[in-house]
Amino acid sequence: MHHIDPVVEVAFAANDRYFDGLLVTACSIARFADKRRQLAFTILDGGIKAEKLTFLQNRIRAFHSRTRLQAIKVNETDLSDFPLFHGNRMAYARLLLPNLKPETKHIIYCDVDLLWMADITELWDFQDDSIAYQSTKDMVQSTIDFEREWFRLNSIPFDADRYFCTGLSFFNLQAFREKNLTKSICEFLHEHQDVLLADQTAMNALIGKEAGLLPQRWQVIPRYVPDSTYDTSIVLHYAGEPPWSISKVSKMLTDTQLLWFRFDATIRGCTIWQSLRRYYSATRIIVSRLTFKIIMSTTITRQLFYLFLKSLGR
Give the tens place of pLDDT for each residue, 155-189: 999 999 999 999 999 999 999 999 999 999 999 99
Instruction: Give bridge partners of residue 106 from the DSSP assignment.
Output: 172
> Would you say residue 17 has pLDDT above 50?
yes
- Cα separation, 186 vs 199, whole angstroms: 8
Average the pLDDT over 195-215 and give the result: 93
Q: What percent of the chain has pLDDT over 70?
A: 90
φ/ψ bin of 22: left (φ > 0), alpha (ψ from -120 to 50), beta (otherwise)? alpha
The residue type at 195: V
CB 11 within 8 A of CB 107: yes
What are the CA-CA distances from residue 186 to residues 42, 171, 288 (Å)?
Answer: 22, 16, 41
Roughly how many angstroms between the first and final C-alpha of the chain, as a whole number?
Answer: 41
- Cα separation, 196 vs 154, whole angstroms: 12
> Would you say residue 141 has pLDDT above 90?
no
- Cα separation, 160 vs 237, whole angstroms: 19
Average the pLDDT over 131-152 and give the result: 93
The confidence band for 28, taking pLDDT boundaries of 50, 70 and 90, is very high
Average the pLDDT over 61-71 and give the result: 96
The confidence band for 1, taking pLDDT boundaries of 50, 70 and 90, is very low
Q: Residue 299: is it exposed, middle or buried by C-beta count within 10 angstroms (0-12/13-18/19+)?
A: exposed
The confidence band for 89, taking pLDDT boundaries of 50, 70 and 90, is confident
pLDDT of residue 238: 92
Q: Which of 42, 39, 34 is nearest to 7 (CA)?
A: 39
> Would you say residue 239 has pLDDT above 50?
yes
Average the pLDDT over 91-117 and give the result: 95
The confidence band for 98, taking pLDDT boundaries of 50, 70 and 90, is very high
Average the pLDDT over 230-246 and give the result: 85
Query: How many whole angstroms from its chain centre is CA 240?
Result: 10
Element (H, E) at 188: helix 181-191
Average the pLDDT over 230-239 and give the result: 86
Which one of 25-29, 72-76, 285-289 scores highest in mean pLDDT? Answer: 25-29
Q: Please provide the average confidence, as pLDDT, over all residues in the chain.
A: 89
pLDDT of residue 55: 97
Of the listed ranges 65-74, 176-185, 289-298, the least confidently predicted one is 289-298
pLDDT of residue 281: 92
What letter does residue 94 receive in the DSSP assignment?
G
The confidence band for 249, taking pLDDT boundaries of 50, 70 and 90, is very low
> Would you say residue 101 has pLDDT above 90?
yes
The confidence band for 196, taking pLDDT boundaries of 50, 70 and 90, is confident
